[in-house]
Amino acid sequence: MTDFENDNFLRACWKKETEFTPIWFMRQAGRYLESYRKVRAKNDVLTICKTPELSAKVTVDATTELGVDAAIIFADIMLPLEGIGQSFKLVDGVGPVVEKPVGRIEDVKAIGKFSPKDHVPFVTDAIQLAIQQLDGRVPLIGFSGAPFTLASYLIEGSPSREFTKTKKLMYSEPEAWRLLMTKLSSTVSDYLHAQIRAGVDAVQLFDSWSGCLSPSDYREFVLPFNKQIFERLKPGGVPRIHFGVGTAGILKAMRDAGGDVFGVDWRISIDEAWTILGHVAIQGNLDPAILLGANDLVHARSKDILSRISGRPGHIFNLGHGVLPDTPPEHAKNLVQFIHETTGTKR
């Protein structure tokens, strides 16, 4: 591990003893923070993502303001898709909207080859700038969407609750599905490798929507591709975090797909999840909506999570998903302080 003023996040990833339970948040830089809103008022999200100075700024500002134990580069999981010929827009209140959704094998065959150097140089530049500005204080996390999650956006055309179109292609056109997932797994592997080369200290695979699948469907249609990614990333030597939402029913299969750390949401108790996952590190799992409540409630729910961990090495405190836009920033800051004070003495 590289020397950091605060290396507790990395130590927890490797299941080593820590001075306190490390904590960071998904969607750490977001609309709930004034520092982000000031930048966002003058720039849309894609402009921030594609301007290394802005991406690095909101990344570092959020890390500093919250006092968390890891930074995560500000980007969007859709960014690599432009490089392979899939145009999209980020629509406020909706999310990613794909210009021409994928529906047939001809659409899949038209998907191009991804080149990090040519297609997302702004991400690796932002990583290098953020590392400079963090100046060894805390580690930096890179990330990507997983093949299934990216495929669901490409096929549905916009966020979905039922994923009907995705499942229809998966079940009715297996050749198209395998080709799409093969292309996306290659893209994701190359993208995360580029982030590791740029200097990130850990990577997270966001398979946000895989929880919509049955265990058997996950094993047949998703697991082989995620496993391939994690195996390709292993020589990079950084912790690999495997995260999904609503994944209580597929945790065993996710474990078999790979990863060093598993992020779980609030729909399963963290001790039960850890029993299923076995000898790995675990990240989670406070409901993000709890931060909308009073600090007493936040503390009580956080204590419950910590009591279920019982001091076992390898726990990273996090929310079960991203910070909600209406979250009072003081509640997030208070949670960070509470976790640090409850579990140890911060140096």
Catalytic residues: 27, 31, 40, 76, 153
Name every residue whose Cβ is closer than 8 Å to that of residue 140 and which is 6 or more positions away in sequence. Answer: 59, 70, 71, 72, 73, 127, 130, 131, 134, 199, 200, 201, 202
Q: Other CB atoms closer than 10 Å to residue 122's CB: what's the count?
A: 17
Cα distances from 242 to residues 13, 14, 265, in angstroms, run: 12, 14, 12
DSSP string, 145-200: E-HHHHHHHHHHSS--SS-HHHHHHHHH-HHHHHHHHHHHHHHHHHHHHHHHHHT-
Q: Is there a contact between 180 and 102 (Cβ–Cβ < 8 Å)?
A: yes
Residue environment code for 294-304, b if the CB has 16+ CB neighbours within 10 A, otherwise e: eeeebeebbee
Determine the Cα–Cα distance for residues 280 and 295; give it in Å rounded to an integer: 30
Determine the Cα–Cα distance for residues 75 and 27; give it in Å rounded to an integer: 10
Residue environment code for 167-203, b if the CB has 16+ CB neighbours within 10 A, otherwise e: bebbeebeebbeebbebbbbbbbbbbbbbbebbbbbb
> DSSP alpha helices (H): ranges in 51-163?
52-66, 79-83, 105-109, 116-119, 121-134, 147-156
* In the block, residue with structure tokens 């999310």: 95
